[in-house]
Amino acid sequence: MKPQRFIAKLTDKTDFNEKFTKYVFELDHPNEMEFESGQYVSITVDEHGDRRSYSICSNSDTKHSFELLIEHLPDGVGSNFLRNLKFGEEVDVLGPLGRFTLIHGDDCEELVFVATGSGIAPFRSMILNLLQDVGEKRPITLYWGLRYVEDLFWENEFQDLVENYENFKFHPVISRAIEEWPLCKGRVTDCLQVHDVPIKGGYYLCGSAKMIDDVNALIQERGVSKEDIHFEKFN
């Protein structure tokens, strides 16, 4: 799908915690955008025409609106623009953009998604699409690294998917976890180190450049082929 300009209106938002907010935009003109899960939009965030890229976190089966998951940075230009946006206000959107989409028809036996922070955004779209629309039957494992337990959200949503789809597993990984945190602690690489990394897996990595470099090194060392590793760096 060729990228084009859209005018969209903010219609809803959910503040999950101090860092993360989900924004819902209704497309106004044109009023429909075809995109593939994993793609992103570019939004004008100031009067100079500066833009920021944001992955669409909603399922690609929805075409009249899209959702974004933003990790707010203190004094970030885009962060402040979105925080100050009022319901009904218009934004200038260019999209859909990017090639970080699911590879169809490969011979990977499993799919592994590894995110840090807002890097979860394209994976929510991809995983909803795979489980709810495509009917993917291969094992799918999601690792999601966050700093604090308080940063975690969508755990009920992913837990519901675990309960409804026997091929889906979810591992939140907390780097600064409290003593009682019962699940993976440390960095996502610490969690991957102690889990069986499928050699014939298709890997999708998204978030900080450091995490992507570290995971790339770890899984390639274990024998995963470079061609089966796909990533999007947010910084």
Ligand X SMILES: Cc1cc2nc3c(=O)[nH]c(=O)nc-3n(C[C@H](O)[C@H](O)[C@H](O)COP(=O)(O)OP(=O)(O)OC[C@H]3O[C@@H](n4cnc5c(N)ncnc54)[C@H](O)[C@@H]3O)c2cc1C
Q: Which is nearer to ligand X, 52 or 172 (CB)?
A: 52
Least separation in angstroms between residue 139's CB and ligand X is 26
With contacts defined by CB under 6 A, name the span among 67-75, 170-178, 182-190, 196-204 that binds ligand X.
Answer: 67-75
Q: Which is nearer to ligand X, 134 or 209 (CB)?
A: 209
Can you tell me which of 69, 85, 111, 211 binds ligand X, judged by CB under 6 A? 69
Q: Which is nearer to ligand X, 124 or 191 (CB)?
A: 124
Can you tell me which of 44, 53, 175, 225 binds ligand X, judged by CB under 6 A? 53
Can you tell me which of 23, 35, 40, 154 binds ligand X, judged by CB under 6 A? 40
Can you tell me which of 13, 16, 76, 169 binds ligand X, judged by CB under 6 A? 76
Can you tell me which of 37, 55, 116, 129 binds ligand X, judged by CB under 6 A? 55
**3-state SS, one letter per residue, for the chain:** CCCEEEEEEEEEEEECCCCEEEEEEEEEECCCCCCCCCCEEEEECCCCCCEEEEEECCCCCCCCEEEEEEECCCCCHHHHHHHHCCCCCEEEEEEEECCCCCCCCCCCCEEEEEEEHHHHHHHHHHHHHHHHHHCCCCCEEEEEEECCHHHCCCHHHHHHHHHHCCCEEEEEEECCCCCCCCCEECCHHHHHHHCCCCCCEEEEEEECHHHHHHHHHHHHHCCCCHHHEEEEECC
Told to check if 73 binds ligand X by CB under 6 A, we report: yes
Which residues of this chain interact with ligand X, rule CB under 6 A? 40, 52-55, 68-71, 73, 75-79, 98, 118, 121, 232, 234-235
